[in-house]
Homo-oligomer: A and B are copies of this chain.
């Protein structure tokens, strides 16, 4: 990537003070920036750095008046931080989508179609009867089973594994090691104490704008025609377990290492912390917030609650109870004292332990 300061100012709708022909190839923080890089100044407490920065350009607020001589070029905008994030995104898009073409060797099965401007990394595998949209990036070692569909602009990182018949929407990003559509955990106990595998014949449907973190697993639904569903805009962190027939509602965000058991339906706009465990066959209302490491064993009916604990209840109440928990030996001593005072017990309970 290399742009002139002129091009960047035009993209941001900003005004230039200084050399408009300087070349920019990278973004950096003002204190770390080198020649050829662009930075921004938003918080006044960093102003000193602008007089010594090596950045070739700095994005500043319209009303910025330098107090000393500058050796960098300024781009004046309404909101420097916002403008910088626009550049970050452009850069990220550039990086993410710069790969294109087909590296050899790759494998593609029969009757599979791929869109325009696709990247198929070396050793990537596409099975039979797949439909892959435009601008899709399939990194090396990705596995795409038979009958999978992937929408436009989705990024499938290295070593993502998508089982047969899964559906992935537009603008999704699946990070390395993600597994989509593996068998749900279903076993029928037999008379001899062994378990028979219940065939898992449904699929996984991932809607648009979903991001799934590294090594997260989404199991397929049990029955034909059923799907484990990740709705539009959901963001899943790393190492999460989503069991068979789960539905995760629109724009819900789930932190790392959380597990959701089979057939649970999580509402929209929920925020679920890391390492949370959620039992099967529950329904969780919209806008529910669940604190890290909590355990959920019952459905959540009322919307907008903030829950915590093992099992969960209201987070504030949990911490009030926990404050007393930390003093429980004291509580016990006080009880003993009261009992002695009233002559209720000669040997206190704690001494019998």
Interface residues of chain A, those whose CB is within 8 Å of chain B, are 26-29, 32, 85, 88-89, 91-92, 95, 103, 105, 107, 121-123, 125, 139-141, 143, 145, 157-159, 161, 163-164, 173, 175-177, 179, 182-183, 185, 187-188, 193-195, 197-201, 209, 211, 213-215, 217, 219, 223-226, 232-233, 235, 237-239, 241, 243, 250-251, 253, 255-257, 259, 261, 268-269, 274-275, 277, 279, 292-293, 295, 297, 310-311, 313, 317, 320-332, 334-335, 337-339, 341-342, 344, 349, 353
In the assembled complex, the CB of A321 is this many whole angstroms from the nearest CB of chain B, namely: 4
In the assembled complex, the CB of A263 is this many whole angstroms from the nearest CB of chain B, namely: 14
Q: Which of B215, B261, B292, B329 contacts A179 (CB 8 A)?
A: B215
A324 near B313: Cβ-Cβ < 8 Å: no
Q: Considering the chains assembled together, what is the distance between the CA atoms of A334 and B324 in angstroms?
A: 13
In the assembled complex, the CB of A244 is this many whole angstroms from the nearest CB of chain B, namely: 11
A310 near B324: Cβ-Cβ < 8 Å: no
Q: Considering the chains assembled together, what is the distance between the CA atoms of A197 and B257 in angstroms?
A: 20
B237 near A239: Cβ-Cβ < 8 Å: no
A187 near B143: Cβ-Cβ < 8 Å: no
Q: Which B residues are in CB contact (< 8 Å) with A32?
A: 224-225
Q: A215-B239, A261-B274 are in contact. List 8 more A-B contacts (CB 8 A).
A: A28-B225, A123-B125, A125-B158, A141-B143, A179-B215, A241-B256, A321-B326, A342-B342
